[in-house]
Amino acid sequence: MTETPQPSADVPTPADLETLSRQLGRPVRDVVAIPARCVCGNPLVAATAPRLASGTPFPTTFYLTHPVITSAVSRLEAAGLMAEMNDRLAADPELAGAYRRAHEAYLAAREEIGRRAGTGPVPEIDGVSAGGMPTRVKCLHVLVGQSLALGHGVNPLGDEAIAGISAWWTPEACYCDGAWDTEGEAPDRDLSRHGPQGLPAMTGRPAPLRRTDSAEGTAEGTAGSSAEREDAAGEDRA
């Protein structure tokens, strides 16, 4: 008897897409894979096609979606960690080299996601990764998304940020209970007041200012409004 092939663990199911939409408070688009999951199975990161169905180039391949993680990472940003990391990149050639390799790994992973999505080349973002790589740190959410998606040891600063949020989230435990609305219908319309971030020249719309949570408090249950969670999830919108 032939065994029925089972889908790859990273292929998004309808339940995954609904969970992602609930996590972000809006419908997700063009999700190709779920490269990182909670121990309970819920998505932590969505891998998005490098060109959306609308035709918009989308450089943020690994989009951090879990509200507890995005809120915790926002606290690190608000505390000034990105400036500290940028100072270290300027002073430490070994760290700078490892960070450049993370940039190259991001581009290689995007190419594979694009191949799976069937989008073909996206020349508008050729050689452009995300999060400020390869020379600066502009968005910790991007770096954490890459570290969760590709594993420890790929992006040293993403790994550091994950260690830095251990007071609020760790990969060994589940923090999903109460982290997003699970009642009623899943979002089916994008009602956010925010436009695409990080792509003003490509979309013809100005990139809004990012908002971050206060550095104080705890992450559980304090992910903020859906628009704030969306800001925290990365440079661009999935």
Judging by beta carbons within 10 Å of its beta carbon (0-12, 13-18, 19+), is residue 130 exposed, middle or buried? buried
Q: Where are the domains of the chain?
A: 14-232
Nearest of 124, 27, 87, 78 to residue 232 by alpha carbon: 78
Share of the chain above pLDDT 70, in %: 75
Classified as helix, coil or strand, 91 is helix
Strands 43-48 and 62-64: antiparallel
Task: Quick: pLDDT tens for 63-94.
Answer: 999 999 999 999 999 999 999 999 999 999 99
pLDDT at 129 over 70: yes
Task: Quick: pLDDT tens for 142-165.
Answer: 999 999 999 999 999 999 999 999
Q: CB–CB of 34/8 below 8 Å?
A: no
pLDDT at 8 over 70: no
Is the whole model's pTM more than 0.75, yes or no?
yes
Burial readout 84-114 (b: 16 or more C-beta within 10 A, e: otherwise): ebbebbeeeeeeeebbeebbebbbebbeebb
Q: How confident is the model at residue 188 (pLDDT cuts 50, 70, 90)?
A: confident
